[in-house]
Structure 1
Amino acid sequence: MLTMTQVKNIKKMYYSKGKKVNEIAKITGHNYRTVMKYLEKDDFNLNIGKKEGDKRGRPKKIESVIPIINRWLEMDKTAPVKQRHTAKRIYTRLKEEYGELLNVGYRTIADYVAKKKKEIYKDEEGYIPLEHPKGEAQVDFGQAVFYEKGRQIEGHYLNMTFPYSNGGYTQVFKGENQECLLEGMKRIFEYIGHVPYKIWFDNLSAAVIFGKSRERNLVEQFERFALHYGFEANFCNPNSGHEKGNVENKVGYHRRNFFVPIPHFENIDEYNKELLKLSDIDMKREHYRKGEMILKLLDEEKEYMFKIPEKEFEVGRIKTIITDKYGKAEFETNLYSTSPVYSGVEVVVKAKADKVIIMNKDFKTIVTHERIYDKYKESMKWYPYLEALSRRPKAIKYTKFFNELPEVWKDYIDSQDYEGKKRSIKALMKMIEGDEHLGIINATRAIEETLNNGVKDIDSIIATYYRIKNVGNVAINEINLNDNIPKIKEYQTDINVYDSLCNRQVYAI
């Protein structure tokens, strides 16, 4: 299996330097089939728990030769007019030199060349051209305040802009790490159904690591992401904000137009879906210079972008961690609970933009937490621990979980005998399974209503809980009977008739 650096070098030799497959094989020492395999590979997910497969991806059609065509046309800019490529010459060269990648006819090539020649642009190393070509994008983060469930968040919002059309999309996150960067880009790719062939970034620490000589090294997950979606990642020079002026302007534009007044939302995922739709609505206006609707210009750009690959890229950073004696795993200074069963053992942590998924060594999920973006905090999922506490119910009184319970539940559990405590804890397990926060709210409503009706047994509390959960917090009213309903004589059961059935005959053996 080749390293990502080797794969990147193969692609660079093929697409940027025009080397043939046989030449690349000689230079790298890899055989012809290996070189072809990685040129055609379109899935760069990190496969955990198994070896990365070598299934060959389907060869692309026009997309597979677009970088080659673009390179030839860019080289033509310095050639005499009469010695520049025609569509016919490009098609002939592709057949002769890149026949293994050419899967379209002359007309398709001619149509693309005609469009591309209209947007020839200057692209110097390290600088974004002032005349923005179609199909490129810029990405950067901005910061703004939000309210989630009434709590203030110092949030971050990723902005992806398309300089040619002046279109743009934004997504809100609680951090500015590599998972937020990649997840935001992935959502936008999937929403528009295309991937820009080139994306410009600032020197984001989420994407690059600087070496001792200030050379850029791509973060592994970012590099996999770029290879998977096929875009070329370019980075601006330090202290050169003018190079990404379009996205910097859009950062301010989105803040003024989407985040004023300060947004309030209950669910950040739903809010992000709404932001994508709002971005489309916002682009139904004329371009400031071109006189056409921005959304229409963006649709034109999509013809110069890659299609979304069939295989989805799973964003998530993987790390193995040994839990403490309480079964808690420390990740980025914060503690995440697992289960008493996993105390002092190695677990696998998968960090996503909004979640931390903790798995066992077989990569089976133990528990899922919301990702914490503060420092030295703790996320506790009590459900796995309550099972252990139900076997030792007297210990619950000395846990943080018990101290955080509403008073009505603490008093109820305190009033129970040993077996009653066990039943109460098991009942709470059922009520908080899946969503501890909402489960505790409904469980408290249930016990208060049940006790107010003069009933104390745990089965009645459970029944009330399920009614509230499935129907809502609507109390059941007493049934008032009309006066004309006849009284029914109470039936008295005589069990003496069963005595005759108890006569037994004794047989000698």
Structure 2
Amino acid sequence: MKERSRVEQFERIRRERRDEGLSIRALAQRHQVHRRTVRLALGDAVPPTRKSPERVAPVLGPHLATIGGWLTADLDAPKKQRHTARRVWQRLMEEEGVVVAESSVRGLVAQLKTEIGGDRAQVMVPQTHGPAEEAEVDFGEFTAVIAGVVMKVFMFCLRLSHSGKAVHVAYANQTQESFLDGHVRAFEALGGVPTGMIRYDNLRPAVIRVALGRERFEHPRFIAMRSHYGYDSFFCAPGLEGAHEKGGVEGEIGRFRRRHLTPVPHVASLAALNQALAAADARDDARRIGARAETVGAAAARELVLLNPLPSETFDVSAPLSCRVDAKARVCVRQSYYSVPARFAGRRLEVRLGATAVIVLDAGKVIAEHTRSLHKGSEDLVLDHYLEVLTRKPGAMSGSTALVTARASGAFTAVHQRFWDAARKQHGDGPGTRALIGVLLLHRTMTATVVSAGIEGALVLGNFDPDLVAVTARSAMTSAGATSPPVPVPPTASHAATTQRPTPSLADYDQLLQKETA
């Protein structure tokens, strides 16, 4: 792998010399190598073979394997019963008959322990990050009560390395859609993209498989997102050994959880939870990291203006799926059910699965849109999708799951219920329910406020014809400057007398025809 990298580097040096005419000094500065290396590359496309120095250990050399075996066995031994340098020296003299100074053994044992890993100290090297150059990304977990249900929530966090400014977004899952959507929201919140790289651990939404060293087999959609926003990625070493390589975001997730998510938050929805997280991010602008002289907000103010601008188009994070509509006019997406208009039953439709939304399309046209469910096995049914079926089967209306959902969401109001009760009382169960369905169909072309005004007018008149509701609703819609929609006057004897109309007749038109022929 290293040999291939040297060959590729030599190729770049030779190409830039040929195409740009750069000097040896300029090439050395660009590639951060010595001028001797540049001359070697210009002289021959094949790098010279590296020579390994031969080191001679006249006394301990024949015993390196023995000492290494003892220290390797120590990896599985109790910490208090492992070889010290003095114990290794003693065993060499007693068991191997080696005459050597203890200081020589001490130096060799320290070297071997570092190579084997039995005594490797984790030294953290202080880092300095330029403004807008780097960021770090990770997921964290916390518990929240959403709509009365205790559930585990996953928190996406993107932290700018220079200022410490961070963006936190909560999701019900840790899928690729959430991972990509977190980037989109974070970049929009910051108003730009880091000019250098973003550090990651080996999250599955980004990495398909970890290869040797730093090489990764990345997911194509992650590569597309990275290319769209124009930044580089850096993957940390697997496991605990790589955690310190993005220690900023690791510590940030723990700090944010203790500071803003303790005690356990109680919210009505995931959207409300994210509003609370955004408010917490804004409050964190006033805090100071360690002994820094300026606040996070002040440092971010200098940094954000240096970020690369956002692309003109937002990256589409949704995953394309193909789902068949079942006999109940539902599509099953990730073990949750979502309704579509009943006329699509039995067909296969395109579904765009996003982090927070599920969009169903037919021939590129959106036919249904739902908020992504937080729980598996749930049903998200829209009453409007079943109205044509309920017209033929009005008896199924009262017990329908879609009606229960509409009541819970507030789409089916008390005004609708009053109309339905009065219509059934006057016309009977089936015709009264059909009258309600006719009113519900008006919501496809009119706003809820206007339809409610039409229903109120019908209730006042005691007439439950959907056409009358439509006429009253249109009157409310076209009344200009009215603070409230007009309400019809209840029918009285005098009112009925003044509002009676003569029976339509064509006699006047016949007279016109007679004059025309005369």
TM-score, structure 2 normalization: 0.59
Q: Does 1:423 align with 2:380?
A: no
Partner of 2:129: 133
Q: Cα deviations across residues 76-98 of structure 1 (Å, max 9, x unaligned)? A: 6xx69xx999xxxxxxxxxxxxx
Aligned: 1:156 with 2:113: no
CA distance in 1, matches of 2:10, 2:139: 35
Counterpart-to-counterpart distance in 1, 2:342 and 2:211: 44
- Identify which of structures 1 and 2 has the higher relative contact order when contacts are C-alpha pairs closer than 8 Å and 6+ apart: 1
Quote the offset at 1:298 in angstroms: 3.1
Whether the aligned pair in 1 keeps the contact of 2:158 and 2:166 (CA below 8 Å) is yes
Q: Distance in 1 between matches of 2:330 and 2:501?
A: 62
- Aligned-residue offset at 1:205: 2.0
1:367, CA displacement in angstroms? 0.2
Distance 1:189 1:128 in 2: 29
- Which residue is 1:56 aligned to? none
Distance 1:288 1:299, change over 3 A: same
Q: TM-score, structure 1 length as denominator?
A: 0.60
8 Å CA contact 1:167, 1:283 repeated in 2: yes
The number of residues matched between the two structures is 393
- Corresponding residue for 1:181? 179
CA apart distance, 1:200: 1.3
Q: Aligned-pair distance for 1:338?
A: 1.4
2:464 alignment counterpart? 457
Alignment of 1:298-447 (within 5 A): 298-302=300-304, 305-360=307-362, 362-394=363-395, 396=397, 399-401=400-402, 411=421, 415=425, 416-417=427-428, 418-431=430-443
Which digits, 9 at most, give the CA deviation of each residue in 1:443-488, with x for residues without a partner? 999979986x794625587769998xx99xx999999xxxxxxx99
- Specify whether residues 300 and 18 from structure 1 end up closer, same or farther in structure 2 by C-alpha distance, changes over 3 A only: farther
Percent identity for Structure 1 against Structure 2: 22
* C-alpha distance in 2 between matches for 1:232 and 1:216: 13
Q: Which runs of 5+ in 1 are unaligned?
A: 1-11, 25-31, 33-68, 86-126, 480-486
* Contact kept in structure 1, 2:211 and 2:217, CA below 8 Å: no
Matched, 1:219 2:176: no
Q: Rate the CA distance shift 1:292–1:157 in 2: closer, same or farther, 3 A.
A: same
Distance 1:476 1:342, change over 3 A: closer
* SS of residue in 1 equivalent to 2:202: coil
**Which position in structure 2 is the counterpart of 1:484?**
none
Of the structure 1 ranges 411-420 and 170-179, higher mean CA displacement relative to structure 2 is found in 411-420
Alpha-carbon distance in 2 for matches of 1:305, 1:186: 15
Larger mean Cα displacement after TM superposition, 188-197 or 295-304:
295-304
Paired position in structure 2 for 1:93: none
Task: Write the distance in 1 (CA, Å) between the matches of 2:465 and 2:500.
Answer: 30
Asked whether the 8 Å contact 1:431–1:465 carries over to 2, the reply is no
**Matched position secondary structure for 1:307:** coil
> In the aligned structure 2, how far is the partner of 1:493 from the partner of 1:285?
75
CA deviation after TM superposition for structure 1 residue 366, in Å: 0.8
Alpha-carbon displacement from aligned partner over 1:196-229 (angstroms, at most 9, x marks no partner) = 2211122222222237999743222211101111
8 Å CA contact 1:316–1:352 kept in 2: the answer is: yes
Give the letter for the 2:177 counterpart. Answer: E
- Which of these two proteins has the greater Rg computed from alpha carbons? 2
Whether the 8 Å contact between 2:320 and 2:353 is mirrored in structure 1 is yes
Code of the aligned partner of 2:139: F
Whether contact under 8 Å (1:355, 1:370) holds in the other structure is yes
- Residue 247 (structure 2) aligned to one of 239, 245, 248: 245
The CA deviation at 1:422 is 2.4
Contact 2:419 2:455 in 1 (8 A): yes
- In structure 2, stretches of 5+ residues that fail to align are 20-25, 39-122, 408-416
CA positional deviation for 1:502? 12
Residues of 1 paired with 2:142 and 2:244: CA distance?
22
The amino acid that maps onto 1:372 is: S
Worse overlay, 188-197 or 289-298: 289-298
For residue 314 of structure 1, report the CA deviation from its aligned partner: 1.7
Question: Do 1:182 and 1:225's aligned partners in 2 also have CA atoms closer than 8 Å?
Answer: yes
CA deviation after TM superposition for structure 1 residue 309, in Å: 2.3
Per mean C-alpha deviation after superposition, the further-off stretch among 275-284 and 441-450 is 441-450
Contact kept in structure 2, 1:355 and 1:371, CA below 8 Å:
yes
SS at match of 2:234: strand
**Superposition CA RMSD, Å:** 5.4
Which of the two has greater helix per residue? 2
CA contact (8 A) 1:322 1:345 kept: yes
**1:320 Cα deviation after fit:** 1.5
